[in-house]
Copies of this chain bind each other. A is one copy, B any other.
């Protein structure tokens, strides 16, 4: 099995020689070569320049025996393509230009041609595929409509998300219009990522857990289902719903092929709740990569053991890599997975 066939088998819940492995935010600040490039180009320039995005995407693959590359980009390219640029706040967190604090601003979003304005992402995927070759999986991604709407309405990172929630509660029609715009744009964007060479796509519902459980379907999951419906069943879709991983039946009902688990749920318990055709991904606490190679090996082994005997598991972290992760811990993680046992 090569890396790509291993990844695709696990994504389709078929047996593999061992679990495939990739790591959320595997290209990033913990890598010295990324930090070196970052001294020359700012984040948004790297995202917008296919040659740079490709270089960053491939950096972790040159160090570690990963089975998949994920295109270097940001979920906020979609709001930007709709006419609402983003920036990084000095004090940390994301800021959005001109928060959607009035209905007119939501109506003024430039939906027509939005997916076209993201051509630089498709170019980066094509360039990455050319350099990566055919034997390694390549992933695309987008933010969920709900998560994007959170940033767009709040005007960036938020403490209590009161604005987006109040909009959803008190202006359901306006909220639905915004979500339709985002759903259509995300679906088209992911389709074109697949056309440009992505083997699978991940939808990040990073802010799912700010939804009350009984409104999670209405506020977030139904729009994710809309994207997946439009993509069709030939594309494996990974859904990562941070903080909502205990709601497996609801997440599964979106039609996602793979659920990516954070660390707040025991993976064996998650597998017991999941339908047999559903693959799982993730679960290792990324902070373990700041401890020691020994602890990393032990925790990696524990996660692998919890899925022993189940097909359809993709090794990954429970959240993105953190900047203080140690290279030797990442090596210990990948080495432990690579030398692990076959999946039934």
User: Which A residues contact B (CB, under 8 angstroms)?
Assistant: 91-92, 159-162, 165-166, 169-170, 209, 211-214, 243-244, 246-247, 263-266, 285-288, 290-292, 295, 299, 302, 318, 322, 324
Contacts and interface: CB of A to CB of B under 8 A. Distances in A.
Nearest to A288: B169
A17 to B, nearest CB: 26
Given A246-B265, A322-B162, A169 B291 contact: yes
A160 B287 contact: yes
17 contacts: A92-B159, A161-B287, A162-B322, A162-B324, A165-B291, A166-B291, A169-B292, A169-B295, A170-B292, A211-B263, A211-B264, A212-B263, A212-B285, A214-B266, A244-B264, A246-B264, A246-B265
- The secondary structure that dominates the A interface is loop
B213 A264 contact: yes
Contacts of A286: 160
A265 B244 CA distance: 9
- Top 8 nearest A-B pairs (CB, nearest first) are A246-B246, A165-B287, A162-B290, A91-B91, A212-B263, A160-B322, A169-B291, A212-B285
A212 B162 CA distance: 28
Given A166-B291, A287-B162, A291-B165, A243 B214 contact: no
Contacts of A265: 213, 246
A211 B160 CA distance: 22
A244 B264 CA distance: 7
A246 to B, nearest CB: 4
Contacts of A264: 209, 211-213, 243-244, 246-247
